[in-house]
């Protein structure tokens, strides 16, 4: 399922999400625009993934990513949301987010409580951190994809 699409490179603008309060939970997720989501392979499984991310020309950080069903479109369209494992000084709506997805953790799940959801996400983050230190994932941190030519901006690929 998921593995045959990986590594998956993607670049696009960060847009306003559904205001589900991810930030209030301490796990803000940068949402890609509908146009970027539409460019994903239609058969990529929903679930939790990990990889590398960079905002604009900034540093490359570890990330966890969810590909889920978009409640705005009655769950017939997907949403792609990236939580970057880094503390940013400011929000970065409107900026270009570049990611490479290198691995898959688990399918989407429903949780009985907010506490259960938060601890599952914390476990996902720990798993992502461990996996990304392994050579096969670590090598993608240095990929040329993240080194944009000086003074140029890039939109959706
Ligand atoms: P929204 O519903 O608009 O996506 P969130 O609560 O998910 O709101 O917050 C996402 C926003 O938080 C991102 O678009 C970004 O501007 C900001 N942000 C700050 N730190 C991070 C981070 N570490 N990872 C992802 N987004 C972050
Ligand atoms: Mg979000």
Cα 123 versus chain centre, distance:
16
Backbone angles phi, psi at 9, to 5 degrees: -95, 140
Q: How far apart are CA 31 and CA 146, in angstroms?
A: 19
| Domain architecture of the chain: domains with CATH | 2-138 (2.40.30.30)
| Nearest-ligand number for the alpha carbon of 64 | 1
Q: Cα separations (Å) of 2 from 77, 94, 105? A: 18, 28, 10
Quote the ligand 2 centre to 137 CA distance (angstroms). 25
- pLDDT tens track of the chain, all 157 residues? 888 999 999 999 999 998 777 888 889 999 999 999 999 999 999 999 999 999 999 999 999 999 998 777 778 889 999 999 999 999 999 999 999 999 999 999 888 888 999 999 999 999 999 999 999 999 999 999 998 665 555 554 4
Q: Is ligand 1 within 6 A of the CB of residue 29?
A: yes
Q: What is the DSSP letter of 98?
A: E
Instruction: List, in order, residues 6 or more apart from 89 with CB less than 8 Å away.
Output: none
Euclidean distance between CA atoms 67 and 48, whole angstroms: 7
- Tell me: the pLDDT tens digits for 91-105? 999 999 999 999 999
């Amino acid at each position: 399922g998921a593995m045959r699409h990986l590594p998956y490179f993607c670049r696009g603008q960060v847009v306003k999400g559904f205001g589900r309060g991810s930030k209030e939970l301490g796990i803000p997720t940068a949402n890609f625009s509908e146009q970027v989501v539409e460019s994903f392979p239609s058969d990529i499984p929903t679930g939790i993934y990990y990889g590398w991310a960079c905002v604009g020309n900034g540093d490359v950080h570890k990330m966890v990513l969810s590909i889920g069903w978009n409640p705005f479109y009655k769950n017939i369209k997907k949403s792609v949301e990236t939580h970057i494992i880094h503390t940013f000084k400011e929000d970065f709506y409107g900026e270009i987010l570049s990611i490479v997805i290198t691995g898959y953790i688990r399918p989407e799940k429903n949780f009985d409580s907010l506490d259960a959801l938060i601890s599952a996400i914390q476990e996902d983050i720990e798993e992502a951190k461990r996996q990304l230190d392994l050579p096969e994932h670590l090598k993608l941190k240095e990929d040329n994809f993240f080194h944009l030519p000086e003074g140029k901006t890039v939109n959706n690929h």
